[in-house]
Structure 1
């Protein structure tokens, strides 16, 4: 069985960004002989119910997550946003992620924004976090060659989530900045003893869907098709073979770390046991009228 688990996946509920349909996602996971998959839409939990239903029908273990748009400590209002992936490990985590989603919407500024102060001050148990893509706080400081600041945020997340935090490698051969980020993540992992995981940051299922996403992005930005850069082929839904392939194409010098990062996805998946509860009837059953009917039957008029 493929040991890689997609822990960073966007569905159609990452509006005008992803073209992945939930039903097709589950079918693709089965095709790859994978037993589990996560949904981490951009600041949205809207896909969770349908995701739960479709996964349950096909006997796939669903992992419920969210990729939040964040502001750093003390950051004032601006259109720059950092990314952070949160995954629910249990029911407490499910509740806490939904709470953060509500708080992010309340702090809407172009997008729902989760401040790190809010993340720290509110309940955050039952959550596994990963450092997300090159737009994460840690990645940005790596690209600025500010490793002290990157390390500080690594330690912040690691301590905040009680060690349930991993640094997320991604392999995008056509994106040089990601290679720089990867090297920094390896260095931070070694210095701070924080595990490495890996994702494809999926926004479409197969490479053939790249063009469809490009069309969607053109609509999103109100631009001509030719004005939109092609999506990275490595943003497809991944498996172990594809991850290894893209790592080699990226000239990643530590190929021995890739199987370990793939194995870490399986370890994280096993920790994530949150679920959507079955719908229950909350409207009371009114049966008093039966007793009233009996009274009428006994009444002599």
Structure 2
């Protein structure tokens, strides 16, 4: 069941006066069908973009505008009807209920009744039944759900303390005076209410039938002056680009590869995707905005290389197109493009100007509680001494993506502390439950959505500073078939560009693209540990690996970057040993030699895995 608990402004969503407008009412909106889903998207988007005042707020105007396909419930004690009853204004409560029924329709508005053992509910529940009888508005029994089962009440209290920077022992207006806010069974609800109010929950649920379409690609249409047939224009651009890249005549291997790629790209409907990316990269270059040579699986496409989307020859480095795009792929392919971080926004503005401001948005991301932070936050919320909490947090090892549970298995000191100290045991067990939970929302550093229509036709948005941001994360947007691009702002491109300008003052013919990839002095520099300011090589761990490896080729550097990540990292010692002692290289089968020889018998790249399979 798709829905949202929205906030309703007491007056207009544009009114934002302290005291008068700072306590919006709650209201539950459930999508009966896809029309309701589309309307809910627009309603919550407007609430965030236009109605935000402490919280995103809609008002009666937007509820009337977007009511179709929505089922409305009057909400909890913070709903307008309940709040007016709490203020002993039965007449105003009744009028509010009638107003909402008029907005949503006779069969689409329900008076909501709850019983969590709270004094306010005991006061107003009899009036809610009376109100239902007098107006004919059906009543529905619900249970506020802030956690899944009753054991979640303590974790809820800890999380509230973390978010308000208090302890669980302090009075907090956001705390609930009940432990009943979990998902109750039908039997539990029957015992509480014994009425049609419980049966109405099933009737509402049966009416809610939203079908969200996944996997249907929603590409914006590429347009350019003088171009009437995008497929022919795409083909022409590729063949012309191949001549520029490889010379004329184009090698047979490149022709064969391009024909293969063209058939798949055209067949899967990604022509406009290539044209869109090539267009904004061409714009960046025309404005002298530094653009990276390409990263990720996209550099495996010879068509991308021909169209100057990437600058890396996939044939030279044996890169596979299938890693980027193949007929079995169900999600959008993804070109990750690096731009000078100082001028990245110019490219985004160009895209927004070309496709429409409302067709382009940034993307939300959620920061989660990591292991050490979870320990520290929970310890602070529990009111434990800093020194004690700090000592426990320091027992979590510094590693890529550590977890508390894994640390308990691997770190003897932590396991002993938990075993011997009940306070630490409670701290750690609580921290395990909050680890990985969302802590805050922010804007993705690189992600951009480009939609064929207004973004709010597909997903809800919020306003962050002056940017419009899609409320769904990158993975969800991909599943929905929207075009998601990574416009990565890379500081090193800016630094390199500044350096080139300095060099050009004394060497006007210097071109960074013509630097030889086999310069021995560069490899000597890296081997000696002089890696500060070198992209992806400057961490202490990476510097240590380079000094042990003693690289002497570009392939060595490529392999090290690929190995230095979770999983493959365990192969680094073997790789270094085999690199210095080739006689130790062994293959499970002779046919693996051609595939793994370049990496000294180690499986390093996804392309190698695909070739082996």
> Common fold, TM-score beyond 0.5?
yes
- Asked if 1:275 is matched to 2:219, the reply is no
Q: Relative contact order: is structure 1 or structure 2 higher (C-alpha 8 Å, sep ≥ 6)?
A: 1
Structure 1 residues 132 and 281: alpha-carbon distance in aligned structure 2, compared to 1, 3 A threshold: same
TM-score calculated relative to the size of structure 2: 0.35
CA distance in 2, matches of 1:94, 1:125: 9
CA distance in 2, matches of 1:170, 1:300: 78
CA distance in 1, matches of 2:16, 2:239: 69
- Asked if 1:218 is matched to 2:161, the reply is yes
Q: How many aligned positions are there? A: 226
CA distance in 1, matches of 2:100, 2:177: 30
Q: Deviations over 1:260-301 (max 9, x none)?
A: 1111011111111123222322347975355788999xx999
Structure 1 residues 236 and 293: alpha-carbon distance in aligned structure 2, compared to 1, 3 A threshold: closer
Which residue, 175, 181, 187 being the options, matches 1:241? 187
Which residue, 125, 142, 149 being the options, matches 1:182? 125
Cα distance, 1:117 vs structure 2: 2.9
3-state SS, counterpart of residue 169 of structure 2 = helix
The corresponding residue for 2:2 is 64
1:88-237 equivalences in 2 (<5 Å): 88-105=31-48, 106-120=50-64, 122-163=65-106, 164-173=108-117, 175-227=118-170, 228=172, 229=175, 232-237=178-183
Contact map agreement 1:70 1:81 (CA 8 A) in 2: yes
Structure 1 residues 291 and 138: alpha-carbon distance in aligned structure 2, compared to 1, 3 A threshold: same
1:77-92 equivalences in 2 (<5 Å): 77=17, 78-92=21-35
CA distance in 1, matches of 2:162, 2:239: 65
Q: Deviations over 1:229-262 (max 9, x none)?
A: 45622211111122234x2xxxxxxx542xx111
Contact map agreement 1:167 1:185 (CA 8 A) in 2: yes
Structure 1 residues 145 and 294: alpha-carbon distance in aligned structure 2, compared to 1, 3 A threshold: closer
CA distance in 1, matches of 2:146, 2:210: 23
Structure 1 residues 76 and 145: alpha-carbon distance in aligned structure 2, compared to 1, 3 A threshold: farther
> RMSD of the alignment, in Å?
2.7
3-state SS, counterpart of residue 72 of structure 1 = coil
CA distance in 2, matches of 1:202, 1:230: 12
- Structure having the higher Rg: 2
TM-score calculated relative to the size of structure 1: 0.68
Contact map agreement 1:138 1:154 (CA 8 A) in 2: yes
3-state SS, counterpart of residue 66 of structure 1 = strand
CA distance in 2, matches of 1:152, 1:262: 25
Structure 1 residues 293 and 278: alpha-carbon distance in aligned structure 2, compared to 1, 3 A threshold: closer
Contact map agreement 1:213 1:231 (CA 8 A) in 2: no
Contact map agreement 2:28 2:75 (CA 8 A) in 1: yes
1:29-44 equivalences in 2 (<5 Å): none
3-state SS, counterpart of residue 2 of structure 2 = strand
CA distance in 1, matches of 2:184, 2:168: 26
Structure 1 residues 148 and 290: alpha-carbon distance in aligned structure 2, compared to 1, 3 A threshold: same
Structure 1 residues 73 and 300: alpha-carbon distance in aligned structure 2, compared to 1, 3 A threshold: closer
CA distance in 1, matches of 2:186, 2:249: 80
CA distance in 2, matches of 1:102, 1:292: 39
CA distance in 2, matches of 1:114, 1:167: 20
